[in-house]
Amino acid sequence: MERLSSFVLGRWHAAAGDLSTLVDPTSEAPLAQAGSGGIDFRAVLAFARERGGPALRQLTFAERGKLLAGIAGAIHAQRDELIEVSIQSGGTTRGDAKFDIDGAIGTLTFYAGLAEKLGTKPYLLDGAGVQLGRTPRFFGQHVLVPRQGVAVHVNAFNFPAWGMMEKAACALLAGMPVLEKPGTPTALLAWRIAQLVVDKAGLPEGAYQVVIGSLGDALDHLGPQDVLAFTGSSATGAKLRGHPNVVRHNVRVNIEADSLNAAVLAPDVDPSSETFGLFLNNVALDMTQKTGQKCTAVRRILVPSDKVAMVRDELVAALARIVVGDPADKATRMGPLASKSQLDEVRAGIERLAKAGTIACGGSKPVHAKGWFVAPTLIVANDGRNPVFHAEEVFGPVAVLLPYSGDAREAASIVNLGGGGLVCSAYSNDAAWNQTFALEAAPWHGRVWLASDKLADQALPPGMVLPQMVHGGPGRAGGGEELGAERGLAFYQQRTALQGFQGHLQAL
What would the pLDDT profile of 339-350 be if each residue is shown by its tens digit? Answer: 999 999 999 999
Percent of the chain past pLDDT 90, that is, above it, reads 89
Phi and psi angles of residue 32, each rounded to the nearest 5 degrees, phi first: -165, 170
> In terms of Cα–Cα distance, which of 63, 70, 13, 4 is closest to 31?
4
What's the angle, vertex CA 43, arms to CA 13 and CA 488, rounded to 5? Answer: 90
**What is residue 455's predicted lDDT score, i.e. its pLDDT?**
86
Q: How many CB atoms lie within 10 A of CB 205?
A: 14
Catalytic pick among 256, 393, 440, 481: 256
* Active-site hit among 295, 393, 440, 482: 295
Q: Which burial class, exposed, middle or buried, applies to 235 when counting CB atoms under 10 A from its CB (0-12, 13-18, 19+)?
A: exposed
Write down the pLDDT at residue 395.
94
Residue 1 has pLDDT above 80, yes or no: no
Q: What mean pLDDT do residues 329-346 have? A: 93
Q: How far apart, in Å, are the Cα atoms of 198 and each of 7, 202, 263? A: 8, 7, 41
Is 295 a known active-site residue? yes
Give yes or no: 256 in active site. Answer: yes
Domain annotation for the chain: domains and CATH numbers: 41-257+482-507 (3.40.605.10), 261-465 (3.40.309.10)
| Alpha helices, H only, 130-273 | 162-174, 187-200, 234-241, 244-248
Cα torsion at 501, 504, 507, 508 (round to 10°)? -100
pLDDT level of residue 210 (50, 70, 90 thresholds) = very high
**In sequence order, which residues have a C-beta less than 8 Å from that of residue 134 and are 6 or more positions away?**
none
Confidence of residue 121 (pLDDT cuts 50, 70, 90): confident
The two beta strands, 398-404 and 377-381, are parallel
| C-alpha dihedral sign at 283, 286, 291, 295 | negative
402 vs 412: CA distance, rounded Å = 13
User: Rounded CA gap, 291 and 458, in Å?
Assistant: 25
pLDDT at position 385: 93
What sign does the dihedral 6-12-13-19 (CA atoms) show?
positive
Where do the DSSP E strands lie in 393-490?
Answer: 398-404, 421-427, 445-451, 470-473, 480-483
Helix, strand, coil percent values for the chain (each to nearest 5): 40, 25, 35
The span from the CA of 110 to the CA of 128, in Å, is 26
The whole-number pLDDT of residue 419 equals 94
Tens-place pLDDT, residues 462-487? 999 999 999 999 999 999 999 999 99
Q: Which residues contact 16 (CB under 8 A, 6 or more apart)?
A: 35, 36, 37, 38
CB 335 within 8 A of CB 96: yes
Per-residue confidence (pLDDT) for residue 235, from 0 to 100: 87
Note the pLDDT tens digit of each residue in 122-170: 789 998 899 998 888 899 999 999 999 999 999 999 999 999 999 999 9
- Percent with pLDDT over 70 in the chain: 100
Say yes or no to pLDDT of 508 above 80. no
pTM of the model: 0.93
C-alpha dihedral over 125, 126, 129, 130, to 10 degrees?
-160
Q: For residue 384, count other CB atoms closer than 10 A to its CB.
A: 23
Report the alpha-carbon distance of residue 103 to residue 22 in Å, rounded. Answer: 24
pLDDT tens per residue, range 40-89: 999 999 999 999 999 999 999 999 999 999 999 999 999 999 999 999 99
Q: In angstroms, rounded to a whole number, what is the distance separating the alpha carbons of residues 122 and 55?
A: 12
